[in-house]
């Protein structure tokens, strides 16, 4: 996705700072442009985030839009996952976005303008088995972004949470989607089914990252961008199912739920 985001922004005439741990790989993926700066960034390192933000200002004078996109997706049942795996999941998907945003916010505050776009997931709308740590990282991200909006909107900064559906990216690669080691016999059958399913998904996803990139360029150019953008027909279906499930649960226990006040 990051490659397509950078290309779409460049094609639209914008200046772009494309970042990654391997700057040679980033440069090769994005291509050459006078409006492009490639900067080294490991999102788990605050110093890297601050250096990348400073490089952006040094080169282009300002930062108008931040797209937080780095991610990893550990697969496995919670009981089998190590604490280290769960911490790393949160370090990349949640704290990584915090670090980069913390580095960029002073620039946007001084400008009294800016737009922070956080790439979440369908897992930020609804958790699902074999991805509990991933869902935790995306739910944490969304809670933080909701609250951040209220903190930064008064100084002219917009925020948008993006919930992509199933896009054809490299998220299903071994590097981006590591499996936890089997440890509990009770999960053997379901684990095998899950691993087979996930291993078959690469190249089968229905949505095109280039089209999402074009949509984000459009949204970033709006005077009043959405606080949330659901990307893909499958993501809309999931969002609507989540809304329906929540409404059903509210209705089922409305009488009990509304009986909590002190007696007059």
Residue 37 has, within 13 A of its CA and on its CB side, a CA count of 19
Residue 145 CA: distances (Å) to CA of 141, 227, 230:
6, 9, 15
pLDDT digits (tens, 9 = 90+) for 52-100: 999 999 999 999 999 999 889 999 999 999 999 999 999 999 999 999 9
With a cut of 90, say whether residue 20 has pLDDT above it. yes
The alpha helices in the chain, defined as continuous H runs, are: 2-11, 23-30, 46-60, 83-90, 96-111, 132-152, 188-199, 209-220, 233-252, 254-257
Catalytic residues, by residue number, are 134
Residue 12 CA: distances (Å) to CA of 6, 121, 251:
10, 25, 47
Averaged pLDDT of the chain: 93
For residue 200, what pLDDT band results from cuts at 50, 70 and 90?
confident
Question: In this structure, are residues 209 and 102 in contact, taking their beta carbons and an 8 Å threshold?
Answer: no
**pTM value?**
0.92
Supply 178's token pair: 């590591």
Topology of domain 2-257, per CATH? Rossmann fold (3.40.50)
pLDDT digits (tens, 9 = 90+) for 99-126: 999 999 999 999 999 999 999 999 999 9
For residue 176, what pLDDT band results from cuts at 50, 70 and 90?
confident
Q: Which of 146, 56, 147, 69 is nearest to 103 (CA)?
A: 56
Domain boundaries along the sequence of the chain: 2-257
pLDDT digits (tens, 9 = 90+) for 207-235: 789 999 999 999 999 999 999 999 989 99
């Amino acid at each position: 996705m990051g490659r397509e985001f950078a290309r779409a922004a460049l094609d639209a005439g914008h200046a772009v700072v494309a970042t990654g741990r391997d700057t040679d790989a980033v440069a090769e993926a994005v291509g050459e442009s006078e409006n492009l700066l490639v900067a080294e960034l490991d999102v788990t390192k605050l110093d890297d985030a601050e250096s990348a933000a400073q490089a952006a200002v040094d080169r282009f004078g300002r930062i108008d839009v931040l797209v937080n996109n780095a991610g990893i997706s550990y697969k496995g049942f919670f009981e089998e996952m190590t604490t280290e795996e769960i911490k790393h999941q949160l370090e990349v998907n949640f704290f990584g976005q915090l670090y980069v945003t913390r580095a960029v916010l002073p620039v946007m505050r001084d400008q009294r303008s800016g737009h922070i776009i956080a790439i979440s997931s369908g897992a930020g709308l609804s958790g699902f088995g074999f991805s509990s740590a991933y869902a935790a990282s995306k739910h944490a991200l969304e809670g933080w972004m909701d609250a951040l909006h209220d903190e930064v909107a008064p100084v002219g900064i917009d925020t948008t949470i993006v919930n992509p559906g199933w896009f054809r990216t490299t998220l299903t690669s071994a590097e981006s989607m590591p499996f936890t080691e089997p440890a509990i016999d009770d999960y053997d059958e379901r684990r095998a089914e899950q691993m087979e399913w996930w291993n078959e998904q690469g190249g089968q996803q229905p949505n095109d990252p280039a089209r999402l990139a074009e949509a984000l360029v459009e949204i970033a150019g709006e005077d009043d961008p959405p606080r949330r953008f659901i990307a893909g027909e499958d993501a809309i279906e999931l969002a609507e199912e989540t809304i329906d499930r929540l409404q059903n649960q509210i209705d089922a226990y409305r009488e009990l739920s509304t009986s909590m006040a002190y007696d007059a």
